[in-house]
Structure 1
Amino acid sequence: MVEANQQQEPVPAVFTGTRRELAWLLLGGYLLLVPTIGLYRFWLTTWKRRFYWANTEIDGDALEYTGNAMQLLLGFLMALAVFVPLYGVFFYLSTQSLETALTGYSLVAALIWFLMGYAIYRARDFRLSRTLWRGIRCDQTGSAWSYALRRFGWSLLMLASAGLVYPFMAANLWTYRYRHSWYGDRRFGFTGNWKQLAGPFYLSYAVATVAGGAGLGMAVGNGAFIFASSPDFQDFLPLLIGGAVTGLAILFYQSRELTRMFSAVRLGGAALSVTIRMRSLLGMYVQFGIGLVSSYVALAIGGVVVLGVVASGAFVNGEIDLALLMRHMQGSVMTLLAIVFGYLLLLGAFSFSAELFLGLGFWKLVAGGASITGLDSLRDVRARAEDKAIAGEGLADALNVGGY
């Protein structure tokens, strides 16, 4: 009896990585993106995943990521076979009438949305099939086309119902993903359902609708959107308060969905329990905002200094002469390069802050709030053959829906 009780004691997951380690990894990778014309991002993605996986420990054993950069690169090249014809379609539509172009663009947008569902599922398959724990490989079966059709059909219902069917959609997609996931020869189970999501969702939906609608209505009543007048900050204050309440309602629901759906994951006799709190999610986004604003302020100061040197005549008494700056850009390669490089730095700062505070923050929240009972039931799991497919990850990368 003592032994059985000990087996059921929850074992917490532990994340040992630090933000400083990830920051140095990202900075080194970003520096190599420029001379490699962006190709190094496949190697950077691989190193990031190895950082996350290797620093995540369950019962003293770390996860292992066995994917490599060449697999990501080949997957991306395969994805080009999809996007090159799409670019041709975009060019053709640009030569047609407005009505034809709008219809065509709408159909292409629907196709891309469908492909995003396919790419999300195949990318998850790629990551799972290259994830090991205690030498046993994970995997994902099921059909990416079936998942994409489910997601697309639910999306149409979401539009028709103004989002009210979301709990049903979320539970259905979570179920499909986990009931087709494997650890060795052991299939995952999932006990979650829409009833666990309905209460928090409809409460958040009602709060967001009332707060957002009231804030917008009061702002309009104050004349905030009458451009002929000069609205004060106070005119927009109700809208800002309504937006803040809406944001908190979204975070409240997100914390409940993640907690309840992750805690519904089973693997034989092992059960996962995850606790994610709203205040933790809020803190993560606040840190991201502070980090992003700080980096943009530093870049703005540096940009003014650099442009003040290469285009000194365009900056007088703290003001910018745009006409003179444009002439400097046309006649000075250095000025043009400085502006292009500054634009790339802005994009890099956003990606850096997002990875450092949102990507790492979310991983740490899930890992830090996770515990597993019944781990001893996994001792007899046997390994299964490696899934070597690489298609899908490249499409997810091209559509910017890949995870980690």
Structure 2
Amino acid sequence: MSEERGQGRLAPVHFTGERSELFGLLFRGYLLMVPTLGIYRFWVTTWKRRFYWQNTVIDGDPLEYTGHAMQLLIGFLFALAFFLPIYIVFFYLSTQSPEITIIGYAAVGVTLWFLSGYAIYRGRDFRLSRTLWRGIRFNQHGNGWGYAWRRFGWSILMVLTLGLVYPFMASNLWKYRYNHTWYGDRQFGWTGSWKTIAGPYYKLYGAVVALAFATIFVSASGGLVEVDGVLMPGWPAWAMGSAAALVLWLGVYYFRSREATRMFSQVRVGDATISVKVRARSLFGQFLLYCLSLTGALVVFGMFIGVIVGSLFGNALMNPGAEGAEFARILQSGWGTIAWLIACYLALLASFALLGEVFLGYGYWMLVARGAVISNADSLKSARATGEDLALVGEGLADALNVGAY
């Protein structure tokens, strides 16, 4: 239900998707990735995006995602061809001296970091070009390589200043992305500055530095304790360090909530403006749900692995001293047993990824969507559609480097 205020009609944003629906979708997709050797993940990504888009209802109308899995697959294959020379370089470096190998790997790592900036921008371009609202398509202009150089330069400054320039970097990159974003013939804009998140960021930064120095001071003044012939800090230092870690852990959620609230609230679309409110305790609550789900998954896997190990090593457990012979027998029994153990390991990793998306990814999207309100929403009714950017085929490097979003 909309409201009328001084800034025009206020249009709410709703998110109607259920966590259980997302879980079922991802679980089915992960199972299908096994016989297809992972290729089905492009279909899983498409399902997931359509789930998020169609359940995000803005002023009574949902978003629509028109991308297809084959587009993502084709883009990924193009990216693999691009990465072939890099794979050859990795192989060549592995045959060189340790000094050359380290320098070479470092150079390749820096190159990949630079390319990830281009990949992020191009991936966002693809997602926007396949997103519609009320039949009107979003789009992104600008230059991907220009964004990559901009991000790379800020990354160097982040290292040189030990993270002090983060508010300047974040505001600059947000402004570039949103000033080149369009909804039909309406241009987005970002009206914030480095001051938008400077307060929360430097509060957290100052707290971390102060607690780090306090931990060092307590360690130095509290004396050392000898444990098995090794000198280690005493309990006051451990207590101080634990308190510092707890503050940092909670501080991250405080900052993420303030960052989402303040940065998204500086976005405008033509004459319409966006206001977002995300609470730190809500973000933290999603993380607690994730931890509980992980605990449950580990218990289930622990019981399952226990049954397997018991059946395989039961004879060894009943006959102490025969462990080596029993292990050799299992290895000689074929690759089936080893394949089962590898499958269990991969299933555990897949469970972590699935639960991370169901609780952390879903939680963040849901909180941002439900905390958003659009002012002067009627100004968007006169927006006119523009053509689809057919030159974009998939996300390419974004998918290959795993820097895509949703």
After superposing the two structures, state which structure 1 stretch, 355-364 or 388-397, moved more: 388-397
In the TM superposition, what are the counterparts of 1:365-404 in structure 2 within 5 Å? Answer: 365-390=367-392, 393-404=395-406
Which amino acid is the alignment partner of residue 256 of structure 1? R
1:35 matched to 2:35? The reply is yes
Distance of aligned partners of 1:315 and 1:347 in 2 relative to their CA distance in 1, 3 Å threshold? farther
Match of 2:348 among 328, 346, 350: 346
8 Å CA contact retained: 1:256, 1:276: yes
8 Å CA contact retained: 2:63, 2:132: yes
Matched with 1:275 is: 277
1:125 matched to 2:143? The reply is no
Name the SS for the 1:146 alignment partner.
Answer: helix
Distance in structure 2 (CA, Å) of the matches to 1:319 and 1:13: 66
Matched with 2:286 is: 284
Matched with 2:17 is: 17
Name the SS for the 2:396 alignment partner.
Answer: helix
Deviations 1:26-84 (A, max 9, x none): 11111111111111100010000000001110111000000010000001101102222
Which amino acid is the alignment partner of residue 182 of structure 1? W
Deviations 1:214-246 (A, max 9, x none): 346656867589674598995744322211101
Shift in Å at residue 321 of structure 1? 5.3
In the TM superposition, what are the counterparts of 1:60-71 in structure 2 within 5 Å? Answer: 60-71=60-71
Structure 2 alignment gaps of length 5 or more: none
Name the SS for the 1:393 alignment partner.
Answer: coil
Distance of aligned partners of 1:218 and 1:266 in 2 relative to their CA distance in 1, 3 Å threshold? same
8 Å CA contact retained: 2:117, 2:151: yes
Deviations 1:355-403 (A, max 9, x none): 0011100100100110101111011111111012345613112211110
- TM-score, normalised with respect to structure 1: 0.92
In the TM superposition, what are the counterparts of 1:85-104 in structure 2 within 5 Å? Answer: 85-104=85-104
Distance in structure 2 (CA, Å) of the matches to 1:155 and 1:319: 56
Shift in Å at residue 212 of structure 1? 3.8
8 Å CA contact retained: 1:211, 1:246: no
Structure 1 alignment gaps of length 5 or more: none
Shift in Å at residue 256 of structure 1? 1.3
Shift in Å at residue 318 of structure 1? 12
After superposing the two structures, state which structure 1 stretch, 240-249 or 108-117, moved more: 240-249
- TM-score, normalised with respect to structure 2: 0.92
Distance in structure 1 (CA, Å) of the matches to 2:95 and 2:176: 42
Distance of aligned partners of 1:124 and 1:300 in 2 relative to their CA distance in 1, 3 Å threshold? same
Distance of aligned partners of 1:91 and 1:295 in 2 relative to their CA distance in 1, 3 Å threshold? same
RMSD of aligned C-alpha atoms?
Answer: 2.7
8 Å CA contact retained: 1:119, 1:392: no
8 Å CA contact retained: 2:90, 2:105: yes
Q: How many residue pairs align between the two structures?
A: 402
**What percentage of residue pairs aligned between the two structures are identical?**
51
Deviations 1:247-282 (A, max 9, x none): 222222221111111000001111100011111111
Distance in structure 1 (CA, Å) of the matches to 2:36 and 2:181: 36
Distance of aligned partners of 1:89 and 1:330 in 2 relative to their CA distance in 1, 3 Å threshold? farther
Distance of aligned partners of 1:390 and 1:226 in 2 relative to their CA distance in 1, 3 Å threshold? farther
Distance of aligned partners of 1:334 and 1:274 in 2 relative to their CA distance in 1, 3 Å threshold? same
Name the SS for the 2:382 alignment partner.
Answer: coil
